[in-house]
Amino acid sequence: MKKIALSLMLLALTSCLNAQDRNAISASFINGTRVINEGGTYKGVALSYQINTVNNRAEWTRILNVKNINVEATFYDMNNIVGGDNMTAYDSKLKNKDYFGSNIALSAGIDIGVFDNNAFKVMVSPGIGVMYATKTYFNTEGVNQVLGCHLNAMVSAKLKLLVPVTYNTCIQLSTGITHASNSNTNSLNVGLNRIESSIGLSQYLDYPQTNSPKLNLDQNALSVEMIAGYTTQVTTGFYQLKGVNLQLDRSYRKSTTPIAKAAVSIGYCHYLNEVFGFKAGTDLVYSAKTSPLGSATSDTTKFIETFQGKYTPVYHNLNIGLTAGFDLCLGRVVFSGTYGYYLGGYESYNYSNGNDKFSYGREFYLTFAGRYFLTPNIALEAKAFLYNFGGVGINASF
């Protein structure tokens, strides 16, 4: 009898485990432990659909040990969050609740297998998406240093534990961190950094169909990117308090005419395998407006008139940068990150003893991009030049 019971138990565990190789839908309750630099906690709910990759023949899923592709919608109730010490020292009303509003996010990510002992699974889940925030600088009287616009980019990283309950059901526990901001490509913002945990249930559905790659990208190729966008100009006066910049006169914090910007990037990428590649090239970044303040100035009025981003007024209409970075190829979707150096330079803001000063510098910069290939040679692209601007355009490879 003991052998029979043991056999049945092992069969049940094997059946539950095999059930995890199916597509699934999940619902989770989120407990927000904290928002970094702020006070209080928050709550949320998430609904997700997992596409299992057990039958996916794409090389990148094998190399990265990808178990699922996730699409997730999340609602965050942030009304219990209050301003941190840096904010409340400036204005006590920021201690009040209901200041941060609510957030709605839509994201996509992957589950990378880390541990599997035939009873439960542990996975790491990076993700990327967009988030809509009901509160920004401009509807909180210009004080909120967290988000500068309603629509923001979001990145996340989670650690998941999956425990089977029945053949069709699984408990899902997770903990992780998310960051949401506009990367200073629109209006100034510090960003919203959340640490959270969640518990939920996954309901398994049908088995995934065999999926063969639909196109092969030219991975060792020369590429040309054409991006167009804008920066929302924000006029402000400000000072520093415990390392956080707050406006000196909130009446100055208002949106003005957007500044049109564009970029052409030319580069070559060499792939080490089907997923990872190194790239090098050049960026030509055009701004329709400059703010030639000279090597140093204390003219804050001129600064307010020409402010364009996170203390980086543009010194030339056309800036040329040399870059190097990486590509991460996930089938039709490719992510890129580069580190560059502007040959022409930018002016940068420095605060010292109550004086507003500008010095010639801040030549180094970062870019992040995401591309979706319509054909092996043509892709739609979104690209952010951090602290400068963000835009959309076309990528062509040869």
Residue 34 CB partners (closer than 8 Å, separation 6+): 40, 41, 194, 195
CA 209 – CA 191 distance, rounded (Å): 40
For residues 347-360, b (16+ Cβ closer than 10 Å) or e, as one string?
bbbeeeeeebbbee
pLDDT of residue 188: 64
DSSP character string of 364-375: EEEEEEEEEESS
pLDDT of residue 319: 85
pLDDT of residue 239: 38
Neighbours of 96 (CB within 10 A): 10
pLDDT of residue 140: 72
Long-range (24+ apart) CB contacts under 8 A made by 58-63 are: 58/211, 58/212, 58/213, 58/331, 59/213, 59/273, 59/274, 59/275, 60/274, 60/275, 60/329, 60/330, 60/331, 63/273, 63/274, 63/275
Residue 150 CB partners (closer than 8 Å, separation 6+): 132, 133, 134, 136
pTM, 2 dp: 0.80
Q: Is 52 within 8 Å of 82 (Cβ atoms)? A: no
**Which residue in 183, 72, 47 sits closest to 125, CA to CA?**
72
CA distances from 179 to 27, 78, 129, 130 (A): 21, 14, 10, 11
383 strand-pairing partners:
369, 391
Question: Could you give the 3-state DSSP secondary structure of residue 87?
Answer: helix
pLDDT of residue 344: 72
Burial-class residue 267 by CB neighbours within 10 Å (0-12, 13-18, 19+): buried
pLDDT of residue 318: 86
CA distances from 377 to 58, 305, 397 (A): 18, 43, 5
**Which residue in 73, 70, 75, 24 sits closest to 45, CA to CA?**
75
394 strand-pairing partners:
226, 380
**Weakly modelled stretches of the chain, pLDDT under 70:** 1-20, 86-94, 141-145, 184, 186-188, 211-214, 232-257, 291-315, 345-362
pLDDT of residue 390: 87
Q: Domains plus CATH for the chain? A: 2-204 (2.40.160.20), 221-397 (2.40.160)
pLDDT of residue 367: 94
CA distances from 163 to 20, 175, 200, 275 (A): 10, 15, 11, 30
- Tens of pLDDT, residue by residue over 71-94, are 999 999 998 888 777 666 656 666
Q: 282: part of which helix (H) or strand (E)?
A: strand 276-287
**Which residue in 286, 284, 288, 287 sits closest to 265, CA to CA?**
284
pLDDT of residue 83: 77
